[in-house]
Amino acid sequence: MQAAEFEAGRLLSVWHPDHGFVDKAGYRSPSWSKGPLQAFLPEGYPTSVTDDYARFQLWDSIQAICSYVRGILSSQAMLTGIGVGQQAATPLSAVFQFFLRDLSGMLGGVTFAFLQGSKLDVYAKQWRLFADCLNSAGLILELASPIFPSLFLLLACLGSVARAITGVAAGATRAALTLHFAKHDNAADIAAKEGTQETATTLVGMLLGMAFTHMFNGLPWLIWVSFLSLTVLHVYANLRAVRALTLTSLNPSRLQLLVDTFYQQGVMLTPVQAAEQEPLAPPPLQRLLDRRAEQPAIVIMGASLRGLVSSHRCTMSQLCNHNADQPYLLAPTQESVHVVLAKSSQPADVLEAFVHARVTSLIGHTMPSPSSAQECPSELRAKQWMQMHWQRLLQQIQAAGWETSRVTLAQSDITAEWGERLSTHDE
């Protein structure tokens, strides 16, 4: 008789009467082999997490160590700027400066969370990279603060604001990434092991940071060379970590990339392929770059029907007549395509609305803008394209491994109803 043992569906070992339990590679598995790793890896690893987990954690640990080393170097500079070791410095003055620095950081973090909090999980990659780059900028300001005594407090406060924003963005995006990594509803276990990994990297970073400060004490130019070298490694590791992520959820930047590639080349990108090409700039910066590069009009999901009509961008009859049979309304302009979503719209409708709007933008980019309230040729061509290709595009998106049941495309909660939809609406 034989027996076998599995973990999360993966064969671990086979039992033989003569040899006992033997792992599938043919070697007896020591009982202690997983002990130390269990403190750092989720239960059931690697089958309990996504395939990109190990690559991301490796590069994330490297960038974290760089951050902790640089944090100690900047802390030493801050203490020097405060006046530690100088007879003229007073404890009250030091406490007051630390108070102002911490207060500015708190206010900056709260303001950033208010302005961008709802978008952090939608653009997890972009805000994650932004947070780490901003952290580098904050550390540089703090390291440079003793060089400019008259600007010390200003630089210290700006550095504190940068690091506070980093904390908000990194924390929010980490929650979104934890949910992505969890394959077996084990987000809590992954978050706990992330904490132990962070503790280990913090310890390594602190030890290296203390070694750096001891070796380079009194040699500011060596401190700056080391700091800038670590900053380059920090940014590189962050780029590799973010590129390693193969998210399967559809946000505006990923879906736009899929639509553009399918429209222009007739092929559908997989999550792995899209991860290598997805823009990594945060949305405000990406919109600015697109405008300067004269890219096709941007898609604005969840536009206000009242706002469009009140601003005279289009008339009510123009909107409803051109889109009466759809669960969304399109209002193209030269710079953007506004999408008004129906209150009864489902995720599939939101997905179709974005694709329709992006195709309208791509076609309109090569055609003149409309000069009257009549439907312009780009809208007619976009409708024809959707009728011919939408179902095939949707099938290829699903076949490539993208999630279509949960999309994060709407930029606001504003919806509307019109025509016969309104007359049959209960409320």
Contacts with 276 (C-beta within 8 Å, 6 or more apart), sequence order = 243
Give, in order, the Cα–Cα distances in Å from 371 to each of 78, 295, 321, 333, 358. Answer: 60, 21, 18, 11, 21
The two structure tokens encoding residue 11? 């064969």
Model confidence pLDDT, tens digit, residues 378-402? 788 888 899 999 999 999 999 999 9
* Predicted local distance difference test score (pLDDT) of residue 2: 65
Query: In the prediction, which pLDDT does 10 show?
Result: 64
pLDDT tens for each residue of 26-83: 444 444 345 677 778 888 887 889 899 999 999 999 999 999 999 888 888 777 766 5
What is the amino acid identity at position 61? Answer: S
Rounded distance between C-alpha atoms, residue 270 and residue 401, angstroms: 7
- Dump pLDDT digits (tens) for 243-274: 999 988 898 899 999 999 999 998 999 999 99
Neighbours of 150 (CB within 10 A): 6
Cα–Cα distances (Å) from 45 to 10, 28, 50, 181, 189, in that order, read: 10, 19, 9, 11, 11
Can you say how many angstroms the Cα of residue 149 is from the centroid of all Cα atoms in its chain?
37
pTM score above 0.85 = no
Please give the radius of gyration of the chain, using alpha carbons only, rounded to the nearest integer. Answer: 27
Residues of the chain with pLDDT under 50: 26-33, 85, 371-373, 427
Cβ partners under 8 Å of residue 261, min gap 6 = 267, 268, 269
- Which helix (H) or strand (E) segment is 170 a member of? helix 152-181
Amino acid 128: pLDDT: 86
Distance CA 324, CA 207 (A): 66
- CA pair distance 117, 76, nearest whole angstrom: 32
| CA 143/CA 70 separation, integer angstroms | 9
- Tell me, what's the pLDDT at 373? 46
Beta-carbon neighbour count of residue 117 at 10 Å? 13
pLDDT in the model for residue 107: 92
- The residues, any chain, with a CB within 8 Å of residue 166's CB and separated by 6 or more, are 131, 132, 134, 135, 138
In the 8-state DSSP scheme, what is residue 295? P
CA nearest neighbour of 268 among 127, 402, 406: 402
- Residue 105: per-residue pLDDT: 86
Which pLDDT does position 33 carry in this prediction? Answer: 44
Q: How many CA atoms lie within 13 A of 131 on its CB side?
A: 26
State both tokens at 191.
Answer: 């978050």
Name the β-bridge partners of 21: 15
Nearest Cα neighbor of 384 from 402, 365, 408, 359 is 359
Alpha helices of 324-376 — where are they, by DSSP H?
347-364
